[in-house]
Amino acid sequence: MRFSHFLLLAGLSAAASPPALATAGPPPRATATVRKHLIYFTNKAGTPFSLSQPQAFLSARALARRTRQGIALKPRDLPVNPAYVAQVKAVAGVRVWYTSRWFNAAVVSCDSTTLASIRTLSCVQGAQTLNRGQNAPRHPDPETSTAPAQRPASAADYGTAFGQAQMIGAVSMHSAGFRGEGMQVAVFDAGFPGVNQMAVFAPLFQEQRIASTFNFVDKTADVYQRNDHGTLCLSTLAGNQPGTYLGTAPKATYRLFITEDINSEHPVEEANWLVAAEYADSAGVDVISSSLGYNTFDAPSTDYTYADMNGRTAIASRAAVTAARVGMLVVNSAGNEGNSGWHYITAPADADSVLTVGAVTAQREHASFSSYGPTADGRIKPNMVAQGQAAAIVYPSGAVGTGNGTSFACPIMAGMATGFWQSSPALKVQEVIRYLQSAGSQATSPDNTLGYGIPSFVTAYNLAHPNNPLASAGAAAAEPLGVYPNPSRGEELHLHLSSALRMAPALYVRIFDARGTLVRELQLNAAGTADVALPTGPLARGMYTCVVGSARTQQTVRFVRL
């Protein structure tokens, strides 16, 4: 995984508590090399499961999601035939880890001699090796995170997360009453250490909005361990500590899944992604946020080529397409390959029905590391972009800092998409994507750098509700004044004007330092635009209050110079 990247379950219960995982067969022989393999079955003939009784393998919430979107049940939804699984488990030396409804397959571990015996079974169609042994531990992409900020900053309830939320209209979305209530989001990542102890996530536990957890790498329910990449990504979504930090979907319900093992890089992690997606489906999840990507693997596993980035080859891409077809919105990071020889997006960001998210700076410009499109078959990617350079994140220590990567742009966008779908629950998955793209800053001229651009929640909502736009309800007018980048290290500042300030012929700006001393006073011409440059001149490090007024109104915003 480049942090920008597998499993299989049999018949999940309708309640969708931790998955009903297959039990182990006889222990594998210790004298031979044991690897994991994806075993494909020939068919689902003779299965005791029936499409007329889907409650045996899909939750009521999963069935309701299909019904809302007019999605018919298909044979792919049926669990693997238990008799076939039993035949595989009966082979000496095999352990069955998971099964996959969608691929009609099972993930097993065994040595090569045992695998040859499995291949002779009449119910087995073929096999694919998923890992090749142990390797030295991998570490997060150096662009994924940076050191925590030395001094915490606050901008109203959002803290340093204000700019990234404001950029895509999530602040207006929250003002309009859409913070993810009633929506379920599954987060696939490499670990969530500290989440169960951090103040920024306390409301998740106090309000019982952690619906389930599962570690598909170790086959346990414990996810509050391993790599902190998942913790950082989750903060941009679910963070909820007013005055310090707010994520883009702070009131959604979450399911946390570890699918990624940073100790090595093999297709087994894609299989974990697949099985996690099937679990999410059975549980009734609405949105999957996946800041993972696959293109190269540890030897001797075979790397993908750019030609494989066609949405139909990689295991994770095939799984993501199916996830979308059963009614889940898959939001995936584009990848951090923009400066590398690879250059392009990674899997499953290449899937045609996935909302692939690239990264921009606080100045709304392409982040150099963000992967480019198109897909190998010529489709535009990424679909959209959000802030991923100097994005505000929360570390397991509770410190608020900044990080770089499409890994952060993805969940920031996923939270807004969750709130948008909450506001328009009758939409189908592809309609959600279409409205968001139509609300992008490059909607009329998409490209393979920014896709359809930076979306606006208000624009998307008004396109979906032409007879009841937010402006008429006063929600857009409640949009607060913003400043970005915040905090800044000497970059040029910009004001994001509220609706009340945008049409004023002149704006009067006064900037005060932390002691209340007036340090700058200037006049700006808004010219009907949403964003204007704020020429502050040189400022010392510290916190400042910016008061912007017109003849009819006055608003205040704070910012930090580092």
Active site residues per annotation = 189, 229, 407
**9/369 Cα distance (integer angstroms):** 35
Q: Which residues of 345-363 are buried (b: 16+ CB within 10 A; e: fewer)?
A: bbbbbbbbbbbbbbbbbbe
Concatenated DSSP letters of 525-544: --TT-SEEEE---S--SEEE
According to DSSP, residue 560 is labeled: E
Dig out the tokens for 70 from the structure. Answer: 């007019």
Which parts of 90-201 fold into alpha helices (H)? 112-119, 162-167, 170-175
- For residue 520, which of 510, 529, 530, 528 has the smallest C-alpha distance? 510
The secondary structure element, H or E, covering residue 88 is helix 82-89
The torsion angle over the Cα atoms of residues 307, 308, 311 and 313, rounded to 10 degrees, is 150
Chain center to CA of 26:
38
Which parts of 120-188 fold into alpha helices (H)? 162-167, 170-175
CA neighbours within 13 Å on the CB side: how many for 227?
24
Among positive and negative, which fits the CA dihedral 453, 140, 281, 377? positive
**147/402 Cα distance (integer angstroms):** 7
According to DSSP, residue 121 is labeled: S
Backbone φ and ψ of 137, nearest 5°: -55, 140
Helix 406-423 × helix 229-238 angle, to 10°: 30
- For residue 348, which of 256, 277, 416 has the smallest C-alpha distance? 277
Residue 24 DSSP SS3? coil
Task: Indicate the length of the chain as a whole number.
Answer: 562
The torsion angle over the Cα atoms of residues 136, 95, 37 and 6, rounded to 10 degrees, is -70
Dig out the tokens for 287 from the structure. Answer: 């949105």
Residue 192 DSSP SS3? coil
**245/372 Cα distance (integer angstroms):** 30
Query: What is the radius of gyration, based on Cα positions, of the chain?
Result: 24
Which parts of 284-352 fold into alpha helices (H)? 315-325
